[in-house]
Structure 1
């Protein structure tokens, strides 16, 4: 948004710190805090939700699929520890602490949005990135679980309304095919950033490992490539794509529809 690399550097450092210091890869577990060493307090549902959200944003800023992979791991753990398989939505706690007699679900997006609200949108975005119907279904079940609140007191859960809007809209994907550091690729990405594009994911088809990883689940992205040696932009709905363009002005025209 601000085209200031300092913010991206700070975000990347923060994500690396979380992965190195607060994530136990052998146990697939996130821990809550660090001071002179990692604490023994395991992460709560909102910790997972906000970190996943940040990692998805970081992928779209860097196109480093390692952040997408990490987000997927965290989402799997959040679902395993906190998702209510009977009634949907996310409990705040994992249920491991026997002193907690009743597991609660936050149903208010106040100073901090509820874990379920953030997680619902995370699931919808991940479902797009990974073409995963199960994640999409889980997101919709989570939204449905809070239908009474949304129906009678919608202003209490504005973030859940964002997830609801995503779930009922035609999902749109923008794929830039090109080398991540190429000036023309950056120009295309900058054009995308000039537009307000809710309910949209942004991906890079780099012709390398990143595209290979995305192509494991997204068949459409496997064949996307530069056109006549120029970076190209593909604007799609449900990965049914319009003809690719190689000029940022042409891309702007597509995005304005």
Structure 2
């Protein structure tokens, strides 16, 4: 096995796929800054095919994950590096904030935030996903807006459904569903598929708790709710 390579742990891969699916317009996840073009393409292809992969497929030629997450045209981004040893006691990556002209004071403030938030998410099923999507990305958005003061932002990670709402109906119906959490990549993929098929529009708040809202014609909204509640 080449140096620096290891079999990808299923939980690490699931977190990366969940994080990729959770990004909002204007946000990015990139391997290109840290890996070779071949390694970056390998990871991109792996995440694109994640739901199709068999449990026995050999992933030993994938490098240990090393990537950045951020907002387009922002001067700061989140640097995420998993250790080569992905044994169960080494699943948490090293997460830092990097950026253009970042000062020592800024870096220390961000590392303090990361330490505090790591304590909050350490018992989560997907700690790295929660750290980035629930805490760090909202604060980066606050930084971009000139609102970041070092306190956790209250923004939530929200994904938009299909915009193909039916415009011919005279009455628009609405539905709001809540749940303890909404983190499953499969569930979120199904929501996108159902909203497109049924021509409803809406959004989902990912994380703890989960929230799903949709609007459209009565029959389509009722079917969407039935699909969402039953699967």
Q: TM-score, normalised by structure 1?
A: 0.27
Which is richer in helix? Answer: 1
More strand by share: 2
